[in-house]
């Protein structure tokens, strides 16, 4: 399964990025994580899902770059949960 996910990311995203670009991505992920936590505290549903989804994408990508499979899989599971929640939200409205 790990090779399937790696193939998917290789197809869509560059396998190497500069350290500067990776730092920018991680800073964006940090900001999204903070905003998501604030959205949870203030019960700003569904904003929490919309902020957490790209957060997970960034961390999956950064983990994939450095072959950190545990981090990648944890975020992939959350990504699927958020995708389900976002899809359900749009189907119910």
Encode burial over 3-28: b for 16+ CB neighbours within 10 A, e otherwise: eeeeeebeeeeeeeeeeeebeebeee
pTM over 0.85: no
Give the residue with greater pLDDT, 71 vs 48.
48
pLDDT of residue 10 exceeding 80, the answer is no
Selection from 39, 51, 52, 58 nearest residue 78 by Cα: 52
Each domain of the chain, given as residue ranges in start order, spans 19-92
Nearest CA to 65 out of 28, 1, 10, 4 is that of: 10
Residue 82, pLDDT > 70, answer yes
Cis peptide before 89 (omega within 30 of 0): no
pLDDT on residue 65 = 67
């Amino acid at each position: 399964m790990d090779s399937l996910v790696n193939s998917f990311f290789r197809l869509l995203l560059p396998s190497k990025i500069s350290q500067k670009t990776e730092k920018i991505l991680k800073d964006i992920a940090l900001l999204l994580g903070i905003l998501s936590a604030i959205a949870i505290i203030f019960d700003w549903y569904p904003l929490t899902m919309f902020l957490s989804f790209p957060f997970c994408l960034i961390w999956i990508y950064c983990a994939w770059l450095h072959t950190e499979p545990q981090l990648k899989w944890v975020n992939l599971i959350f990504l699927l949960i958020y995708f389900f929640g976002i899809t359900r939200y749009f189907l119910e409205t």
